[in-house]
Amino acid sequence: MRAVEWAERDPALSEIVLDTAPGIPAVELLARPDKLMAFFDGRLIRWLTRFARLSRLGVAAHGSRRTLTALAQLSGAGALRDFGELVSALDAAIATMIARLERARGWLRDPRTAIIIACGISDDAADAACALDRAVRAHGFEPTLAVLNRVLPTSLAAWSPRLDAAPPAAHAFARYIESHLRIQHRVRAQLVAQHLPVLDIPDAATLDVADRLAGLAALGEPLRAALAAPATVARQVG
């Protein structure tokens, strides 16, 4: 909803990036427009609005009275009437909300919209990313690609033999690199097995220095290119 408001304020806006927390929040973001549309277009809202309007006139249709009387026994007639009056008073706001929901739903279903699953490098990261991929597909969406974050170059695997005369701390660091590369290889293989195009995003030390925008650009341009042609992103490990 907020993203649609941004677009209304700035008609020249051409791209919007929404970064969600992983897991359930991401799936909820995709499903929310349909859920809210179903709520606002449901019979209950229409009944309550009509009930509030007719109550102010001192009349009520027989069918509405019978249905709402049953609901009133659970929550109280006053509460139903108050809620109906609130909904009735918010007609204009609800109409605006519905229009924004329709626009958001159109964006999500637009083939130009990219859904990217970000995956870290840890023992359970691939399982979580694959579960998210299945949940997203279950809601009728198809992820565009998976991003493997903080990837180390595989050329580092040849670095450890050069450390024969190095201090113990250097050997410990080399073991960390070897472990990271093994997990990295395994995670990437699991994503590929999920039939997801995988884009490697390198660990970027430049994000921690003064020229942060240049560092972000160095990460963003390969991602932009991959989104322009996701079929060209490597699907094989190695």
pLDDT mean values, one per 10 residues, the chain (238 residues): 78 81 76 73 62 52 52 55 59 71 82 90 92 89 90 77 68 85 93 89 68 76 79 47
Q: Which residue has the tokens 């605006």?
A: 96
CA gap 227, 233 in Å, rounded: 9
Residues 6 or more apart whose CB falls under 8 angstroms from that of 214 comprise 206
Give the per-residue pLDDT at 204: 67
* Residue 46, pLDDT score: 62
Tell me, what's the pLDDT at 190?
93
Give this prediction's pTM.
Answer: 0.68
> Among residues 174, 59, 196, which one has the least CA distance to residue 126?
196
